[in-house]
Structure 1
Amino acid sequence: MTAFRPRILVIDDEPQIHRFLGPALEAAGYEPIRADDATSGLRELARKAPDAVILDLGLPDMDGKEALAKARAFYDGPVLILSARDRETEKIDALDAGADDYVEKPFGVGELLARLRVAMRHRLRREGAEEIMRSGDIEIDLVGRRVTRAGAAVHLSPKEYDLLAALAGGSGRVLTHRQILTAVWGPAHEQDVQYLRVFIGQLRQKLEADPSSPGVILTEPGVGYRFG
């Protein structure tokens, strides 16, 4: 019997990316599917329903963010952006458009595979609609709205809890400042990044063993935060 291998669709117009990423994916137990432009990538996505997608932003026939928007109309699996564009606005726009993570070129294949595993694991977790989220000794009961640390109750204000629940609901995905502010405080506050930083600081004081070296609420510099 042939072992199941998750299928990973790689949409990138650089042959050298496929030459070294394809074998690396195979060695890690995946089945790579190659697409050299957005049009063929979207066609393969519709035909083969891969378990995850690695998508370049600089495609010859369509901007990668446009391809991502088209993909999200019918595909709900993990999408990792792979791009040489290193501006924070590019990362934020891609994450806001529905990407699960963003890896810059040049990249280490080990890091890419690790982020791919995390994205796939967190997508499965979200589909399972877990009621209890954990990070280290922190436990969040999303139904009972209770938070404990090493079994002891943590007292949060309503907004602190809403912020923590929004981060935990992302299940390890990077959430941009705009996404968090809109979800917790509403669209009128989507630019209030300093306000968000204050609340993140308050949460870290209550949740982290060492707030200066957080392990529960992780910072993606210039982009947003993720639940560890």
Structure 2
Amino acid sequence: MKNIISILALTLFFSCQNSAQTSKKQDAVINADPIEVPIKNGKAKAYFASGCFWCVEAIYESVKGVEESISGYSGGHTKNPTYASSNTGKTGHAEAVEIIYDPNIVSFETLVDVYFASQNVTQVNGQGNDRGSQYRSILFYQNEAQKQIILKKKEALAKKLNVTIAAEVYPFQKFWLAEDYHQNYEKLHPNHPYIKNVSVPRLNRFKSKFPKKFLKEVTH
């Protein structure tokens, strides 16, 4: 009986994920023209989705030139997504981060390198045990130049590793800010079991293999 229930639950789960990503509304998002966020006070913004935003926020804030990493939602077709609604898999949104950075210190190309170096590039709809379309990997581009950077790096990595890279490539449309309690979660909750057992190990794996010249001198 438990096996039957599990099968039914999984079927429903994946049907929700698939319908969220293949609907006409979602197609409109994927095929839209990108929206470019202007540089303000010398700072640019970039957007990435790579599993739980608690993890990704901490990873990018370890990079020189990154002023701040903000948790939120992007890539979907619904307005005003919340943590609860995105977790249904029906909004099309993924947990994402807004990276505020100094382009004179760190380039968009390097931020894309950080992205691929900090995840399991072959995992579809998730990272680790965080699974579902809300945890899928997406790189967002704001113009044609960024799109080509992403596509070339993705193609090169696929050839180098001889694998299919799971990350999707979307035109950036809008970033929805996550609830206050999600912001700076790793810093504010260092003893949380998820932070200790998932977020910090993922951060340290990234830092162990990424060139040190790009990283801030911060210990975890």
Superposition TM-score tier, normalisation by shorter sequence: under 0.3
Q: Work out which of the two has the higher radius of gyration on C-alpha atoms and give 1 or 2.
A: 1
More relative contact order, 1 or 2 (CA 8 Å, 6+ apart): 2
Alignment TM-score, normalising by the size of structure 1: 0.24
